[in-house]
Amino acid sequence: MPKNKIRKFQENLTFPNLFQIEYHDLIAKGCKLKGNWHQTYFKNENPIILELGCGKGEYTVGLANKYPHHNYIGVDIKGARLWRGAMSSIEQNLTNTAFIRTQIETIDFYFEKNEVSEIWVTFPDPQPKPLKAHKRLISPRFLEIYKRFLTPSGVIHLKTDNLNLFEYCLEMIKMEKHELMLQTKDLYNSDIEEDVKNIQTYYETRYLREGKKINYLKFRLHE
């Protein structure tokens, strides 16, 4: 393992805004912050918004800067990438951010019912093979997990350059009778004027340079 990556893993253990629990401990003991993020960590009652598969945390940090009266938590399994988001938050003195290193499959161990108001999924692995469709972060399997902690009015955003994943999600939303709020297959030539345009991830910037179109949708889970 490169020395730089080892250093980042070691520094992650010292960051006050980055949380990681070994899988067996998480299953056996749970997370003490579950149901207590407002009181114990953020020390306010502002809405909590997740960025799942956050990578370097571009959305987490960008939105936290823009909306100081909201709380943002980036979630990813890649420790070296999370290091960048956690470090950026510390350097910018952001008190409304946190990061969790875990598999998305276990995310409901960290949040109680109605504790999260919004979810962003930005450029996830499209898992193109049909046999791996259950691994897509917006699939019925994962939506059932999100429903355990998302508020009834909570929304989910998806940004992706992968048209097949986008169309799969649209069909799934229709079949599961969720509420589709916005959709476009060409975000930057649409009239959508939300945060979805104002903040770009590393991969999005690269895809745009390559001339790829960005797909976007926003929806709400049925009760």
Q: Active-site positions?
A: 125
Q: Cα 189 to the chain's mean position, in Å? A: 24
Rounded to 5°, angle at Cα 94 from 208 and 4: 65
Residues 6+ apart with CB under 8 A from 88: 56, 57, 61
> Is the distance from CB of 172 to CB of 140 less than 8 angstroms?
yes
> Is the distance from CB of 156 to CB of 124 less than 8 angstroms?
no
Taking the C-alpha atoms of residue 102 and residue 79, their distance in angstroms, rounded to an integer, is: 9
Give me the phi and psi of 194, to 5 degrees please: -120, -175
> Is the distance from CB of 97 to CB of 84 less than 8 angstroms?
no
> Is the distance from CB of 99 to CB of 60 less than 8 angstroms?
yes
The dihedral through the CA atoms of 159, 76, 99, 149 has a sign that is positive
3-state helix, strand, coil in the chain (%, to 5): 40, 20, 35
